[in-house]
Structure 1
Amino acid sequence: MNFDDFDISDEVKKAIDEMGFEKTTPIQEMAIPLGLKGRDITAQAQTGSGKTIAFAVPVLEKIFIPDRSPQAIVLCPTRELCLQVAGEIAKVGKYIKKLKVLAVYGGQPIGKQTRVLKKGVHIVVGTPGRVIDHIQRGNLDLIGVESVILDEADEMLDMGFRDDIQTILKNTPLQRQTMLFSATMPTEIRKIAKNYQNNPKFIKVANKKENIPKITQHAFRTNHKYKFKDLTKLIEAYDIKSSLIFCNTKKGVDFVFKHLKKEGYSSEALHGDMSQKTRDRVMNKFRNGNVRFLVATDVAARGLDISNLDFIVNYDVAQNYDSHIHRIGRTARAGSSGFALTLVSKEDSANFNVIKRQSKGKIVEKDIPSDSELEEIKINRILDEVKNSIKVDNLKNDMDFIKKSLSADITSEEIAAALLKKLREK
């Protein structure tokens, strides 16, 4: 569908057109008409599916600008996602005169947010904890809220926000419209839908990454005792320059991060116990290419939009198929190709077997390379680079130096072999 097919204002259509969107994504095609009718929605959709616009359009169409009290609230798990969502909503509402959208989150002085709230805001995008804080301080009155959106709902529950979410929902009018978006649908999410939504329409959008053959998936059986060593072998065998490495626990993240550093690999850790300031610093270093490896839990990585990522490594197998797809979908973006490598220890076997079965042949099992095989891989990689240089580079001056160095007791083959040895030792 085109956005022109929807019964929406010219202001919103113009903004979406300027954002470069012509055709709708599946989640937008299904959710926008329902949202415009005021229906409650429970949608299973991944990051990158276009869900922000799917809920932004219905929300913006209901905003009454003269009323400068909050009319919609969007809850997100992290500061970064709050800023991303608030920015996207503001872009869609660019031509709605005097529209005010505010992101509220921890890590920023509360006074600044309070002053903006007091002046009047139409849409609030916030983390549950900071929203509760503003409610308790009397800065935020949700009595006029008509729309509540729970974005990345499963992640908010994983981060311990269930009580906060329920408190916020109880502070909003019963006749509100509630739209819930989640990458996975565990029992707790279904309970919230049952208790706080009115006859919601369930939507499930297949992750577009599921069907993209450009993600090459390899899995490697390993022993827990040698798992980290096998990780470093894969890094060398695949010549991985940069990667997001997933662990299931904060303890696992710290272990892999510390041992990578010890082995001389530039790396950083990212998990839920970190302050927002530390998270921002780590993410900036990774995005700017100042560190090669970012080791993270699913919770910490949710909502992060990282481009140009060729490799995803699952140090621990994901808990379920949806989480696995969500992880690997961070590579092969914008039409590029990518690799997803998964280490499978005995403890991971049950989850992996389920994921492999559901992947329908997309995961190919391979053996961890032996030390001798790894050495051969490295040598062949160097020789390939040498052969390519012979084809494309001007080597005249270099050849002149080699000829001058030749003597009766030193051959060109010996010089080449010695240079290869030096390169391997680097």
Structure 2
Amino acid sequence: MMNFEDFDISDDILKAIGEMGFKKSTPIQNKAIPIALKNMDITAQAHTGSGKTFAFSIPVLEKIFIPDKSPQAIVLCPTRELCMQVAGEIDKLAKYVKKLKVLAVYGGQPIGKQTRVLKKGVHIVVGTPGRVIDHIQRGNLDLIGIETVVLDEADEMLDMGFREDIEQILNASPRQRQTLLFSATIPQEIRKIAKNYQNNPKFIKIENKKKNIPKIKQYSFKTNHEHKFDDLCKLFDIYGIKSALIFCNTKKGVDFVFKNLKKNGYSCQALHGDMTQKTRDKVMNKFRNGNVDFLVATDVAARGLDILNLDFIINYDVAQNHDAYIHRIGRTARAGGSGYALTLVTLQDIPAFDNIKRQNKTGIEEKRIPTDEEIEDIKNNLVMDEVKNSVRNGDLEKYIKIIKKNSSSDLSSEEIAAALLKRVREN
């Protein structure tokens, strides 16, 4: 690892990085920043959460010529959420770069507002491919001055059907540009884009899976369709889960889990591709702010989500493949933290899940769903653990006095404690 001071970075950006609490670079930053600063093309395989936003944002910022108010760099992202996140990170890095303008452009927001900002002058555009094309066709966005194009989460953009849009944007950009491509996986389609649109790119591969996944405890639980939802609720009890992101493979599955969770009194919301962008933003903000405990989502709807302090990912449905599984569980254990990934596996899921297990280098431990009696013991033990913590923390004198005062030959302190436990458990 290198310190950011070891790179050829301007003092203004170093000051902002320091205020954000970062000192040492991550592996992707360590490898990509020096190459990108030399204006060379990069194809980088790096997983979500690896620190790649800094890896391309710092070199992009170093090249910006402030007096020129036309767009000089464009960053393409698969989702509105990721656009907002990337634009926000660039803004933080550019805190002390005077008069630098960054704009996020995406669908779901009135195009007029974005148009007005573009007309005033913007140095860096961060956008979804569809909305960028829209601005180009309307004459709002001229790419003639573009010096750097960044493809962030390139494989996800291709999965979402943006290939033609991406190629149109690359073809509309100057040939003598720098192209930085970042992707969690490098399938054949990504290799074709690199071959056709990059100039002798340097290939970087960061084995983030080995570094990140060990911090995620991965467990699987055999179930069947009849008891699957009940087993989901049992997982909440087993692990004392207060908040989680729950993945389903279809909109129908999301709606089923959401409706049944709500019926059982859980605070939850659903997220899928059929919702309007405005509704999706509202749902995401509720979950991020802790106003909703459980978010049930499809893979497409959850792309680009970055939620800190999320301890549990639950695969209600087994992911379609290993890459999708890795993308899902990567929503937890962010920024060096730890987390749990729990997967419910029916008999029909076994072939697909076996393929995932074969490719998973860290292993997924198979566990058994406890019986109802065992669940009761687990719930009691969770309450008793909290009680023991209260005893260790002290400050119980006034409560001890109340217990002693109410204890008698007919009512022991043990009976009072048992009655209190019962009251806690039944309320």
CA contact (8 A) 2:221 2:366 kept: yes
The 5 A counterparts of 1:172-187 are: 172-187=173-188
2:164 pairs with 1:163: yes
Helix, strand or coil for the counterpart of 2:179? strand
- Tell me the equivalent position of 1:201: 202
Amino acid at match of 1:403: S
User: How far does residue 23 in structure 1 lie from its aligned partner after superposition?
Assistant: 1.7
Per the alignment, in what secondary structure is the counterpart of residue 298 of structure 1?
coil
Change (3 A) 1:360 1:138: closer
Alignment of 1:214-225 (within 5 A): 214-225=215-226
- What amino acid sits opposite 1:365 in the alignment? E
Q: Secondary structure at the match of 2:307?
A: coil
| Contact kept in structure 2, 1:154 and 1:185, CA below 8 Å | yes
Q: What 5-or-longer segments of structure 1 have no aligned partner?
A: none
Q: Which stretches in structure 2 are left out of the alignment for 5+ residues?
A: none
Using a 3 Å threshold, how does the CA distance of structure 1 residues 29 and 419 change in structure 2: closer, same or farther? closer
1:48 matches 2:52: no
In structure 2, the residue corresponding to 1:300 is in which secondary structure?
Answer: coil
Q: CA deviation at 1:76?
A: 1.2
Query: For the residues of structure 1 that align with 2:387 and 2:3, how far apart are their CA atoms?
Result: 51
* Match of residue 154 from structure 2: 153
Inter-partner Cα distance in structure 2 for 1:356 and 1:237: 23
Percent of aligned positions that are identical: 74
CA distance in 1, matches of 2:424, 2:15: 57
Partner in structure 2 of residue 321 of structure 1: 322
Separation (CA, whole Å) in 2 of partners of 1:11 and 1:201: 28
1:300 aligns to what?
A: 301
Alpha-carbon distance between aligned partners in 2 of 1:77 and 1:226, rounded to the nearest angstrom: 36
Is the 8 Å Cα contact of residues 209 and 329 (structure 1) preserved in structure 2? no
Number of the residue aligned with 1:269:
270
**Structure-1 residue corresponding to 2:382:** 381
Q: Distance in 2 between matches of 1:12 and 1:420?
A: 55
Distance 1:268 1:172, change over 3 A: same
Q: Which amino acid aligns with 2:407?
A: K
Contact 2:147 2:178 in 1 (8 A): yes
How far off its partner does 1:386 sit?
4.1
Aligned to 2:97: 96
Kept in 2: contact 1:246–1:297 (CA 8 A): yes
Gap change, CA 1:319 and 1:190, over 3 Å in 2:
farther
TM-aligned CA deviation for residue 412 of structure 1: 5.7
Q: Which residue of 2 aligns with 1:309?
A: 310
* Residue 58 of structure 1 pairs with residue 59 of structure 2: yes
- One-letter identity of the residue aligned with 2:84: L
In the TM superposition, what is the alpha-carbon distance from 1:249 to its structure 2 partner?
Answer: 2.5
1:145 and 1:172 in contact (8 A); partners too? yes
Correspondences of 1:361-376 after superposition (within 5 Å): 361-376=362-377
* 2:317 partner SS: coil
Alpha-carbon distance in 2 for matches of 1:387, 1:72: 57
Q: Distance in 2 between matches of 1:120 and 1:334?
A: 34
AA of the residue aligned to 2:400: K
Deviation at 1:142, TM superposition (A): 1.0
Say which SS state the counterpart of residue 245 (structure 1) adopts.
strand
Q: TM-score, normalised by structure 2?
A: 0.90
Cα distance in 1 for residues equivalent to 2:383 and 2:65: 65
Q: 2 CA distance for matches of 1:339 and 1:11?
A: 39
Alpha-carbon distance in structure 1 between the residues aligned to 2:9 and 2:391: 60
CA distance, structure 2, for counterparts of residue 385 and residue 23 of structure 1 = 38
Map of 1:351 onto structure 2: 352
Question: TM (normalized to structure 1)?
Answer: 0.90
> In 1, distance between residues paired with 2:362 and 2:346?
20
> Where does residue 398 of structure 1 map in the other structure?
402
Q: After TM superposition, give the deviation of residue 326 of structure 1 in Å.
A: 3.2
Match of 1:114 in 2: 115
Contact 1:158 1:299 in 2 (8 A): no
Q: Does 1:83 align with 2:104?
A: no
Deviates more, 1:127-136 or 1:62-71: 62-71
Q: How many residues align?
A: 423
